[in-house]
Copies of this chain bind each other. A is one copy, B any other.
Amino acid sequence: TIVSVLKNIDRPGWLEGKRVLVTAGPTQEKIDPVRYFTNPSTGKMGFALAGEAARLGAAVTLVTGPVQLDTPPGVDRVDVTTAEEMYQAVHDRFGTQDIVIKSAAVADYRPAITYDHKMKKQPGDYVVEMERTKDILKTLGKEKKHQFLLGFAAETTNPLGYGKEKLEKKNLDAIVVNNVAVEGAGFGHETNAAIYINRNFEETELPMMSKQQLAQHIFNQIKLDITHE
């Protein structure tokens, strides 16, 4: 709208001139052409964050797994399917970014073997051998120099304790913890409730709100953290 355009002219976004990379959505890890492992991420939180970063003036890259969402205006979108493709897409672009937000729900395991043709049913049970995928956040945490690195944690038990542990172990600048066991929060919902924890372990509670609003609050927190450094 005209109002928001004028507002932007009056007060340019604080991310003007910055590069922001956001990851979103699930990954899919194939057993064969018609069977795969995945998770219930719809990508809504990541897409809201990418859209908000663009509104704040950043040059935004959105690396996303398979989702049913329209790309936010002004956002450069990169589509990937697997955890390995997600790793490559993010790693290749990491050096030039100012802020990286990893909201994708990347599979931590994938089938050790992917068959080119549909597996035939066999009598009885079978086992799928799984292997670990690369830990993208940990790699970025090790390699980061000037970048502000934000992770997400979606836990059903002790989310706060786990979030702090992840923040420290992966050398993040902040983590957004949401408890996916709470009604209306997390995967697939329009709303979310979360706690933002910065590297000083300061917690900011972000109560149940729309994912759009939560995206605004998260960037407010990032701004506070970057300004105070």
| Binary CB contact string for chain A from 82 to 116 against chain B (1 if under 8 A, 0 otherwise) | 00000000000000000000000101110010001
Q: Which residues 123-171 of A have a CB within 8 angstroms of B?
A: 124-132, 154-157
How far is A29 from B127 in the complex, measured between Cα atoms in Å? Answer: 14
**A125-B118 contact, Cβ under 8 Å, with A34-B180, A36-B38:** no
| Binary CB contact string for chain A from 16 to 42 against chain B (1 if under 8 A, 0 otherwise) | 000000000000000101111111100
Contact B124 A132 (CB under 8 A): yes
Q: Hey, which bits of chain A sit against chain B, CB under 8 A?
A: 31, 33-40, 68, 105, 107-109, 112, 116-118, 121, 124-132, 154-157, 180-181, 187
Most buried by B among A40, A116, A154: A40
How many copies of this chain? 2
A201–chain B nearest beta-carbon distance, Å: 22
With a cutoff of 8 Å between Cβ atoms, the chain B residues found around residue A36 in the complex are 37-40
Most buried by B among A35, A36, A116, A127: A35
Contact A105 B34 (CB under 8 A): yes
Contact B125 A130 (CB under 8 A): yes
Contact A156 B118 (CB under 8 A): yes
With a cutoff of 8 Å between Cβ atoms, the chain B residues found around residue A34 in the complex are 39-40, 105, 154, 156, 180, 187
A66–chain B nearest beta-carbon distance, Å: 9
